[in-house]
């Protein structure tokens, strides 16, 4: 587990591990981390200018960063983020098949916490399109839900023979704060989106019988991945090369307005 860090650093580290893995300089890696200060991450293809209220975010102490992966906006605050980086050969099959494989590890972790979750593939049922720029307003490919509520929002990118998938596991959820960050003004549309989010989003501390700490969630997810992949996971640190590359990427990419505000 890594400690809480700025969004720009979190994305730079994932990116640096992905590059190292693609070159054979790093083993498959599962990482857990948090964000401080709170940060709105937007998908690679999203428009910052159209979908984020930068003035509100500045006033509220919320940073923003563009992810290297697709998907829609996630407000990272009271949550745990996981990332899986591996050679494509270690997660054989299509993008969908690798999504499902990783979701199965997460599912084992939730079972360890006593949460009866399930994997859904709602794209096949024509339920994919959400009404906002928020990741959690509708489930997507092979994601984790409880009673129809999405519990994990995930996104993936493949580059030079390696896979990066990361996702947000919500401990709690504040729909109003998310809608403010996305610039959704009071009115009929905001009321509708709040209802959609309230219906579709699940958070662990609403679903569990007791409040869960971040540490307890991470321990359960480590158990789940160990069980799913039948492998011993060894604790490790970034290599010197990965750390140096992450510092370069944080400056040149993830703190660079030309990257974050290019759309």
Q: Which of 83, 185, 210, 95 is nearest to 132 (CA)?
A: 185
Q: How far apart are CA 222 and CA 219, in angstroms?
A: 5
Two structure tokens written together for 89 = 């050969």
Q: What pLDDT digit, counting tens, does each position of 55-79 carry? A: 999 999 999 999 999 888 999 999 9
Reduce the secondary structure of the chain to three states and give it as a string.
CCCEECHHHHHHHHHHHHHHHHCCCCCCEEEEEEECCCEEEECCCCCHHHHCCHHHHHHHCCEEEECCCCCCEEEECCEEEEEEEEEHHHCCCCHHHHHHHHHHHHHHHHHHCCCCCEEECHHHHCCCCCCCCEHHHCCCCCEEEECCEECEEEEEEEECCEEEEEEEEECCCCHHHHHHHCCCCCCHHHHHHHHHHHHHECCHHHHCCCCCCHHHHHHHHHHHHHHHHCCCCCCCCCCHHHHHHHHHHHHHHHCCHHHHCCC
What pLDDT does 160 receive? 94
What are the backbone angles phi and psi of residue 117, rounded to the nearest 5°? -100, 170
Min mean pLDDT across 48-62, 82-96, 140-154, 162-176 is at 140-154
How far apart (Å, rounded) are the C-alpha atoms in residues 152 and 149?
Answer: 9
pLDDT tens profile 29-57? 999 999 999 999 999 999 999 989 999 99
pLDDT one-digit tens code per residue, 229-262 = 877 778 889 999 999 999 999 999 999 999 999 8
> Rounded to a whole number, what is the distance in angstroms from the first to the last CA of the chain?
32
Among residues 86, 95, 63, the alpha carbon closest in space to that of 76 is found at: 63
Q: Supply the CATH number for residue 49's domain.
A: 3.30.930.10
Count other C-beta atoms under 10 Å from residue 81's C-beta: 21
Reported confidence tier of residue 122, pLDDT bands at 50, 70, 90:
low
Reported as a pLDDT band with limits 50, 70 and 90, residue 144 is confident
Q: Would you name the residues annotated as active-site residues?
A: 135
Give the closest residue to 75 by CA, choosing from 6, 9, 173, 145. Answer: 173
Q: Token pair 């300089």 is at which residue?
A: 25
**Could you give the number of structural domains in the chain?**
1
Lookup result for tokens 């729909």: 175
Q: Is the pLDDT of residue 183 over 90?
A: yes
CA separation for the pair 175, 195 (Å, rounded): 9
Residue 96 is predicted with a pLDDT of 81
**How far is it, in rounded angstroms, from Cα 47 to Cα 72?**
10
**Alpha carbon 253 to its chain's center:** 19
Q: What is the pTM of this model?
A: 0.90
Q: What integer is the mean pLDDT of 165-190?
A: 94
Domain region containing 26: 4-260
């Amino acid at each position: 587990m890594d400690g809480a860090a700025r969004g720009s650093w979190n994305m730079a580290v994932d990116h640096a591990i992905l590059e190292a893995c693609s070159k054979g300089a790093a083993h498959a890696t599962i990482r857990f981390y948090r964000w401080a200060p709170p940060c709105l991450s937007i998908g690679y293809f999203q428009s910052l200018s159209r979908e984020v209220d930068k003035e509100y975010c500045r006033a509220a102490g919320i940073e923003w960063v563009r992810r290297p992966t697709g998907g829609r906006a996630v407000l990272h605050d009271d949550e745990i983020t996981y990332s899986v980086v591996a050679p494509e050969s270690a997660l054989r099959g299509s993008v969908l098949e690798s999504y499902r494989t990783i979701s199965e590890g997460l599912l084992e972790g939730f079972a360890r916490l006593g949460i009866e979750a399930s994997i859904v593939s709602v794209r096949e049922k024509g339920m994919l399109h959400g009404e906002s720029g928020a990741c959690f307003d509708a489930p997507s490919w092979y994601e984790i839900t409880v009673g129809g509520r999405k519990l994990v929002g995930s996104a993936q990118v493949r580059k030079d023979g390696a896979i990066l998938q990361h996702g947000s596991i919500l401990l709690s959820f504040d729909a109003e704060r998310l809608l403010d960050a996305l610039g959704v003004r009071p009115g009929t549309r905001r009321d509708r989106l709040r209802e959609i989010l309230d219906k579709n989003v699940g958070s662990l501390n609403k679903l569990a019988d007791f409040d869960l700490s971040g540490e307890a969630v991470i321990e359960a997810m480590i158990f789940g991945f160990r069980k799913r992949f039948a492998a011993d996971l060894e604790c490790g640190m970034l290599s010197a090369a990965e750390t140096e590359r992450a510092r370069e990427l944080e400056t040149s990419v993830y703190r660079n307005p030309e990257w974050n505000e290019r759309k």
